Amino acid sequence: MKKPIPSTALIFILLGIYSVAYCQNKPQQTQYSLQKTKENIILDGELNETIWDNSEVATDFYMTIPNDDRPASLQSEVRMTYDEENFYFAVTCFDGKEGYVVQSLRRDWEGSINENFSIFIDPYSDFTNGFSFGITPFGVQREATIDEGANTNSDWDNKWFSNVKTYDDRWVAEIAIPFKSIRYSEENMIWNIQFTRNHLKRNEQSSWIAVPQQYNANALTFSGQVKWPENPPPAGTNISFIPYTLGNYDRNFEDPELDNGFGANAGFDAKIGLSPSLNLDLTVNPDFSQVEVDRQVINLSRFEVQFPERRQFFLENADLFSKFGFPQSRAFFSRRIGITTDTLGRSEQVPILGGARMSGKINEKLRIGVLNMLTDKRDDLQLPYQNYSVIALQQNILKRSNVAFVFANKENLGIEKGRDISEYNPQVARREIQGNDTVTSYKLYNRVLGAEFNLFTEDTRWAGDFYYQRSFDNWNQNGTYNHGAFLRYQRRNYSVRWVHTAIGDGFNAEMGFVPRVGYNQGSLSPSYIFYPENDKIINHSLSFDISYTSNADFSRITDRSFNLSHNFNFTNTSSASINLTRNYEYMFFDFSPIAPFSESLLEQGTDYEWNVVQANYTSDRRSVLNYDISTSYGGFYNGNRFNVNGNIGYRFQPYGSFAIRYDYNSIQLAEGFGSADFYLLGPRLDLTMTDAIFFTGFAQYNNRFDNVNYNLRFQWRFAPASDIFLVYTENFAPNGPVDFIPGDNTKNRALVLKLTYWLNL
């Protein structure tokens, strides 16, 4: 017979449960009071200054992963102070002696696969926008902007300073963030702030403010407050001048007219702080040769694939310009500026002559963004000078929601009516039938006007996005609308998401990303999360998605999909999933899914339905040898398709890694339609000799386009935000199925030596 629990023991148990719950730092209820320092803070990781002894300590970090019901097993501490120029942090991360898990010494590391401590600052206290600064135990930095309350963009670059020192039982980081490097209001004396730690070798994530596991720990909703004893110091004169100069050698063996040989170039960017919260960016003759080339994909769909923007000029406050609409219906996509396609659909660079962008906060509630860029003409592509302009406004309402407006305008300049149509790109001039005559029609402009409401409730349960856009140009007069609605409800164990999009046949956003027009689409996606009490699985979830797409007038279904998936996250950092999908597609234009291996067409008016099963696995990220693999098998239009893709890598910590990305597709269509084996191989070597000297070399072999691309990139960050780059690129046609050795089959090659320097005036 079991004995009853003594009343005194029961009281102690209840008190223990209460104390654990009580010690959680609560969002917006936990506050840190700053003290100003008169000392000269030396960033050495030793914390010898008196101010650190007298400052408050932000501690009692709470675990998020693998459990969210207990304090972190090893605690972290943060102390803060400031002077007239910098915001200082002293971070102590208590640790064992097992060593650290990092990928390399390269800046802007990926947070989930590197041990790190990160700071998230919301200077406007709007729970929407802010800045993030992170550091690894090896002293490697990462900075990012925050938008929509949780999204981070680490392509943003700015100046800040840090130093890390390791001890037997902890590592300590001292950090100085110049007020000139962030945007804030001098009138706001309470900032939202959150600290997170990824203790990867223990697969433990923790945060200063307790965060339920179903949410991102960096979500600004789950932030504490830092209280200033006085108005934050003014940033003062904030002007940065960033000139560059380069020498290059370009050869084109396919088109002698584009064989430029030796060349040189120069230009500059400038950043002018109009106020602590409003910035003006200028660029003259910008160059982006140091930007890493896009990673190729095997696109088997009927529509364009979107690649990310990495050009520095377009990144700060990028969400203000680029988040109008849904991912497949954006009113503005900055990669449309300076990049076009030729008559064969190949990407071509168009030189940017210059531009200006003003972005930031007018007041605590209103953000503004204004952008204007001018591109050069390309006679070989029959493109005239083109001007791109965007105006965006975002007004915060309620607690975390906002309404926004956008106007995007593209103009073709210097069009001379009456010239032969062959002298203009098809994007600019075409022949039209008007009555009984055929005339030349010129497109002088393309414009998009839009409004949007973004919903985020204070309790984080509801999120939504509702927008309407309309395009204007003289080639498209009817069906020029684009509108959509998104609504999500989320609790600890379940979430439900609904999405609707409607785009007219005539909607044309030449500055945006809209790969498909003339459709209505709706989807419903419920999911349920389980949190088992065992030492193997953190959580697993079941989700279902049903999606229907019709043409613009709802006269027929063009696409339909049903997807059932089961996902697992394990305590050893690995993950797995299995998916079952049933697809239906109606061909509203002729399509060859295995071109150029076969020109047989799935003809307009035919339709196809098929099933696919897919399995995915990602290995333990702490291991020096790690991999992820995804494989699927099933139907594919009127045939079958087998796919395997993923990545396998080896890490020689902390100095770099070697990895191979792979994607293989074996497609067998019905008799008479052909078959194809597409494969993409991408070996990559990443070396970080120090936290300031980097080398990246990778190749991409895509047999679908019979091309091998090399991109070799050396970078020396000789001063904060100042670099020397040496970049070599080459494209050649392989002589065999797997040929990475160039020779007489080279198509083009280029060598660039570039110097940039960030000068604060």
Let me know: does 482 contact 514? Beta carbons within 8 Å: yes
Return the DSSP state at 320. Answer: H
User: Got the DSSP string for 467-506?
Assistant: EEEEEEBTTB-SS-EEEEEEEEEE-SSEEEEEEEEEE-TT
User: Got the DSSP string for 386-404?
Assistant: EEEEEEEEEEEETTTEEEE
d(CA 152, CA 112): 13
**Stretch (H or E) spanning 173:** strand 170-178
d(CA 748, CA 538): 50
Rg (Cα) of the chain, in Å, rounded? 28
Is the Cα dihedral 436, 440, 445, 451 positive or negative?
Answer: positive
Let me know: does 162 contact 176? Beta carbons within 8 Å: yes
Tell me the C-alpha to C-alpha distance, in Å, between residue 418 and each of 9, 339, 423.
95, 27, 11
For residue 113, the SS3 value is: helix
Q: How far is CA 674 from the centre of its chain?
A: 38
User: Got the DSSP string for 620-661?
Assistant: -TTSSEEEEEEEEEEEETTEEEEEEEEEEEEE-TTSEEEEEE
> Which CATH number among 2.60.40.1190, 3.40.50.450, 2.60.120.10, 3.40.30.10 corresponds to the domain 24-227?
2.60.40.1190
Count the helices and strands in the chain (H runs, E runs). Answer: 3, 42
d(CA 256, CA 251): 9
Q: Reply yes or no: is the peptide bond before residue 66 cis, omega within 30 of 0.
A: yes
The letter for the amino acid at 180 is K
Query: Tokens 């999911």 — which residue?
Result: 527
pLDDT (0 to 100) of residue 346: 66
pLDDT (0 to 100) of residue 15: 39
Helices marked H in 151-232: none
Strand ranges (E), 112-160: 116-122, 130-135, 141-147, 151-153
Residues 6+ apart with CB under 8 A from 591: 302, 601, 602
Q: Which residues pair with 410 in a beta bridge?
A: 388, 446
Q: Are strands 759-760 and 746-756 parallel, antiparallel or unpaired?
A: unpaired
Residues 6+ apart with CB under 8 A from 498: 485, 486, 487, 488, 522, 523, 524, 525
Taking only the tens place, the pLDDT of each residue in 370-393 is 999 999 998 888 889 999 999 999
Is the Cα dihedral 699, 704, 705, 706 positive or negative?
Answer: positive
> How many other CB atoms are there within 10 angstroms of residue 259's CB atom?
12
Structure tokens, 146: 């925050």
pLDDT (0 to 100) of residue 25: 82
Let me know: does 210 contact 136? Beta carbons within 8 Å: no
Let me know: does 688 contact 106? Beta carbons within 8 Å: yes
| Closest CA relative to residue 361, chosen from 84, 128, 193 | 128
Q: Reply yes or no: is the peptide bond before residue 596 cis, omega within 30 of 0.
A: yes
The letter for the amino acid at 727 is V
- Residue 450: HSE in the Cβ half-sphere, 13 Å Cα cutoff: 37
Q: Which residues pair with 346 in a beta bridge?
A: none
d(CA 422, CA 40): 68
Is the Cα dihedral 303, 305, 311, 312 positive or negative?
Answer: positive
Rounded average pLDDT per 10-residue block, the chain, 761 residues? 46 41 72 94 95 95 92 95 96 86 88 93 90 95 89 85 94 95 90 95 93 89 94 86 94 83 93 88 88 85 87 83 94 90 71 94 91 92 93 92 96 84 84 82 93 92 96 93 97 96 96 96 97 92 97 95 97 96 96 89 95 97 94 97 97 92 96 93 93 92 89 94 94 75 83 94 81
Residues 6+ apart with CB under 8 A from 248: 262, 263, 264, 265, 289, 750, 751, 752, 753
The domain locations on the chain are: 24-227, 304-515
Residues 6+ apart with CB under 8 A from 109: 102, 103, 116, 134, 136, 140, 142
Tell me the C-alpha to C-alpha distance, in Å, between residue 225 and each of 29, 31, 34.
8, 5, 10
pLDDT (0 to 100) of residue 275: 85
